[in-house]
């Protein structure tokens, strides 16, 4: 059994998490394997925003990766997926199992009637950290805004376990911020779609 998100590295349009059940073993180059796994890797939390000295924050793709490498290697009775993203000139190893775990707990914002490209209000700017694929979560109590606008693969790669993620869907930044910080929610990452 494996998550079908591995076929595209993109969110299901309806927010569903689906799996495919396969009978038998994985066969690669004539050899049999019992499992498909991913190499372990940890991404640091962002200590500072990707963008500094900005007068307003609008949905952008500044946090996306420039390239993605997915390789397969043989392990002991398993095939291991190695994922490496190129972000701001550096290679970042990504633990795909952790991303999938984070994806399974991803929630979506409620739609609002505002224009989704509206900038974030000045009053909220000090409470956010602009992040991306290299470090989707931020240190401290600020809300991480993973700037992956119009890149569904980057949005998927920003999912992380150990925190609560919110996908900004049919919603402006202000309403997304208020939903992420309102009531008892306290989300850690707002993934900008």
Longest CA–CA separation in the chain, Å: 60
pLDDT of residue 183 exceeding 70, the answer is no
Residue 11's pLDDT band (cuts 50, 70, 90): confident
Residue 166 domain flag: yes
pLDDT of residue 7 exceeding 90, the answer is no
pTM across the whole model: 0.93
Residue 57 domain flag: no
Q: Which of 121, 120, 175 is closest to 147 using CA atoms?
A: 120
pLDDT of residue 182 exceeding 80, the answer is yes
Residue 152 domain flag: yes
Residue 15 domain flag: yes
In the structure encoding, which two tokens stand for residue 52, read together?
């500094």
Residue 123 domain flag: yes
Give the number of domains in the chain: 1
Residue 58 domain flag: no
Host domain of residue 186: 2-51+63-192
Residue 35 has a pLDDT of 86
Residue 144 domain flag: yes
Query: For 15-32, how does the pLDDT look when each residue is reduced to its tens digit (9 = 90+)?
Result: 788 888 877 788 888 888
Residue 86 domain flag: yes
DSSP 157: H
The dihedral through the CA atoms of 42, 52, 89, 144 has a sign that is positive
């Amino acid at each position: 059994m494996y998550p079908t998100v591995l076929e595209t590295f993109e969110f299901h349009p309806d927010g569903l998490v689906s799996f495919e059940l396969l009978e038998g073993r994985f066969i690669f180059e004539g050899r049999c394997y019992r499992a498909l796994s991913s190499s372990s890797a940890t991404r640091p939390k962002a200590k500072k925003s990707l963008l500094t000295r900005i007068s307003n924050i609008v949905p952008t793709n500044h946090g996306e990766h420039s390239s993605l490498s997915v390789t397969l290697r043989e392990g002991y009775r398993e095939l291991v997926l190695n994922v490496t993203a190129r972000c701001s000139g550096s290679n970042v190893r990504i633990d795909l199992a952790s991303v999938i775990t984070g994806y399974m707990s991803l929630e979506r914002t409620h739609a609002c009637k505002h224009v989704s490209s509206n900038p974030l209000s000045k009053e909220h700017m000090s409470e956010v950290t602009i992040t991306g694929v290299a470090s989707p979560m931020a240190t401290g109590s600020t809300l991480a805004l993973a700037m992956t606008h119009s890149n569904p693969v980057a949005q998927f790669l920003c999912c992380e376990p150990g925190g609560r993620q919110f996908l900004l869907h049919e919603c402006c930044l202000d309403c997304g911020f208020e939903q992420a910080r309102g009531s008892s929610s306290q989300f850690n990452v707002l993934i900008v779609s």
